[in-house]
Structure 1
Amino acid sequence: MNYADLSPEVRAQYPWPGADLPVNGGRMHYVDEGPRDGKPVLFLHGNPTWSFYWRHLITGLSDRYRCVAVDHIGHGLSEKPEDWTYRLADHIANAVKLVEHLDLRDLTVVVHDWGGAIGTGLTLAVPDRVTRLVLFNTAAFQGPVPASIRLCRVSGLGPLLVRGANGFLEGAIVRGTKRRDLFRGGTVDGYRAPYPDWRNRIGHLRFVQDIPIEAEHPTRPTIAAMEARLHDLRGRPTLIVWGMKDFCFTPAFLARWRKELPDAEVVEYPDAGHWVVEDANDRVVPLVRGFLDRT
């Protein structure tokens, strides 16, 4: 799927055709908006969203900051290969390749959901390039997984739920947001747009399957190594923003981040859910801008 395939209504909300970079897995799409001499901000989404999730922040920051928002392989407007590995280490390597390709320095890494593990891996891989961190409802360590997500990993049933019924995305739309007044039809269409059928939902399934629940899971060593080095994230200005009504990344995950990053600035939104940037976009945009301006 390409930008031209999006409906006019979706393009009106997401008016950035972007560019592509050949990476491991195929063609990786990204948005690159704002002055090229502005301090760069890299946005890394999670599952089952895409760079559309960051549209309010891109709009609110790109007058001054260079905003780069990735679609991971299998997501958004990037290529969605059926036979790729879809491992965390691969997504990290692709993010590193983009940062090096664009030669981004003095970088702010902004993450959500699976983007937290990818962004942490990126930061640990190229620490001299990353100056600031902004974390939204995410993890880079082992934690409890809701039963509904575990169900999507069951052999045979998982593909039917995730790819056939589009259950992971539709479930996230219902459970991930709490401010229904802000989450209207046009917004929902934007999230659904790159995932119209079985073929285009492969990334959703593979991200779920890559959750390293089992001790022998191939991604378990990647997470374990990352978790052992979380202290290496310290020393950077860090903003943690949390929707406290998150069914997946509960307040217990926030407590862990407070322990790992004791000097971080933390803002809690009691009325927001997992998709905190949607639920609280009117507060998130000035909050992040203020953080960037003063650091």
Structure 2
Amino acid sequence: MSADWRPLYPFASHFLPIGGAQMHYLDEGTKSPGANEPLLMVHGNPTWSFYWRNLVIGLRDQNRCVVPDHIGCGLSDKPQQYNYYTFAQHIQNLIELIEKLDLRNITLLAHDWGGAIGMGAATKIPERFARIVLFNTGAFPPMYIPWRIAALRLPGFGKVAIQGFNVFARSAIHMATEKPERMTPEVQAGLLAPYDNWANRIANYRFVKNIPMTRRHPSGRKLAEIESSLWTFKDRPISLIWGMRDWCFNPRCLARFEQHWPNAEVHRLDDCGHYVIEDAHERIIPIVQRFLANHPLADG
């Protein structure tokens, strides 16, 4: 019997029909002072809204926190047709959520694939986004593919490894953190809970397949398009919070964002890895609170 993770996730679930499936999301702090300036927290692979739990708990008293699970992830539907899992479809799904909830004055908080998806949405509807906070992510074609991930793209092997043996999500528990003592049985169970069988791991596999090996790949073209628009956000309040021991979205990715956004405030957490929020949520919450306080919105 796995450890009980639910006490770590004390939130009400909400669902909306998005992109032809039911998307699960959290909507906490709707009556907070900052309810009209929502924090939109967008996860990557192989995480889900559970990854943001500590920030939601730490920020919801003063802010509205909207935290979706991508289709195929978390508590959202997991259809088995591949067309649900293109990079472009994930972006469109996020736009649809934003528009259905009529979110405005958004502060985007995004990690891993969430950065590319979140910035993809922001480039399409920039008038709805006011501030940006990114954690160990990319919004441009990858500069390199770590061999541990490239191996999972091998025909046959990757699908069996990820969907059959849950290699991607299980490995991340150990390889994405620099604070193994924080990966308690309950935290591990929570991170893995939605991905408990072959069918439920389809998005984990498709996200890996969406990593472009060349710019001819549909995701490569889309990422290049998003990068070409990053400069349009350079005058907005931006915070980059980075686990500097990340072997995937390593400091070179941070430097690339700094090239586009030279005025961004940067927080380098030298003792943290890819799961930077797991490694340092108690340091990150006050960083985000100060960032929001230092950059009030004109109509806030």
User: TM-score per shorter chain, which class?
Assistant: over 0.9
Find the counterpart in structure 2 of residue 9 from structure 1.
4
Find the counterpart in structure 2 of residue 172 from structure 1.
172
CA distance, structure 2, for counterparts of residue 125 and residue 9 of structure 1:
40
SS in 2 for 1:219: helix
SS in 2 for 1:105: coil
Q: How does 1:196-207 map to 2 (within 5 A)?
A: 196-207=196-207
Shift of 1:18: 1.7
Find the counterpart in structure 2 of residue 28 from structure 1.
23
The answer to whether residue 157 in structure 2 is matched with residue 154 in structure 1 is no
Shift of 1:25: 4.3
Find the counterpart in structure 2 of residue 4 from structure 1.
none
Is there any run of 5+ residues in structure 1 with no aligned partner, and where?
1-6
Q: How does 1:93-104 map to 2 (within 5 A)?
A: 93-104=92-103
TM value normalised by structure 2: 0.94
Q: Identify which of 47, 58, 61 aligns with 1:60.
A: 58
User: Partner letter of residue 251 of structure 1?
Assistant: P
Which deviates more, 258-267 or 82-91? 82-91
CA distance, structure 1, for counterparts of residue 124 and residue 81 of structure 2:
26
Find the counterpart in structure 2 of residue 45 from structure 1.
43
Cα 1:73–1:242 change in 2 (3 A) is same
Q: How does 1:185-204 map to 2 (within 5 A)?
A: 185-204=185-204
The answer to whether the 8 Å contact 1:245/1:272 transfers is yes
The answer to whether the 8 Å contact 1:123/1:233 transfers is no
CA distance, structure 2, for counterparts of residue 103 and residue 24 of structure 1:
17
SS in 2 for 1:171: helix
Residue correspondences, number: 289
Aligned-residue sequence identity (percent) comes to 45
CA distance, structure 1, for counterparts of residue 56 and residue 293 of structure 2:
15
Find the counterpart in structure 2 of residue 217 from structure 1.
217
Shift of 1:290: 1.5
CA RMSD of aligned residues (A): 1.3
The answer to whether the 8 Å contact 1:82/1:202 transfers is yes
TM value normalised by structure 1: 0.95
The answer to whether residue 249 in structure 2 is matched with residue 249 in structure 1 is yes
Is there any run of 5+ residues in structure 2 with no aligned partner, and where?
296-300
The answer to whether the 8 Å contact 1:31/1:67 transfers is yes
CA distance, structure 1, for counterparts of residue 21 and residue 282 of structure 2:
35
CA distance, structure 2, for counterparts of residue 32 and residue 188 of structure 1:
24
Shift of 1:17: 2.9
SS in 2 for 1:280: helix
SS in 2 for 1:104: coil
Shift of 1:8: 8.8
Deviation beyond 6 Å, 4+ runs, structure 1: none
CA distance, structure 2, for counterparts of residue 280 and residue 266 of structure 1:
15
CA distance, structure 2, for counterparts of residue 109 and residue 248 of structure 1:
21
The answer to whether the 8 Å contact 2:28/2:66 transfers is yes
Shift of 1:102: 0.9
